[in-house]
Amino acid sequence: MKIGEWDEKKDKALAEKIDSDVMTAYKEACEFGDLASGPYPPASTIFTEVYETVPWHVQEQREELGK
């Protein structure tokens, strides 16, 4: 701010824009649900797209879940 490239007005406007962007992103994320209220995907999906080759112990866990 001392060299004149930034001032209190710009600082306040930036802070308000950041707050607005964060709230927009938060509301968008809430549309997908949360751990407290769901929606909950099927348990079998915890194994998808994680491993290129599924380790044996993970495969056993998957089978125990009925998949």
Q: Comparing C-alpha atoms, which of 15, 65, 21 is closest to residue 45?
A: 65
pLDDT, position 12 = 97
Quick one: average pLDDT of 7-33? 96
Res. 18 pLDDT band, cuts 50 70 90:
very high
Peptide bond into 39 cis (omega under 30): yes
Predicted TM-score of the model (pTM): 0.52
pLDDT, position 46 = 76
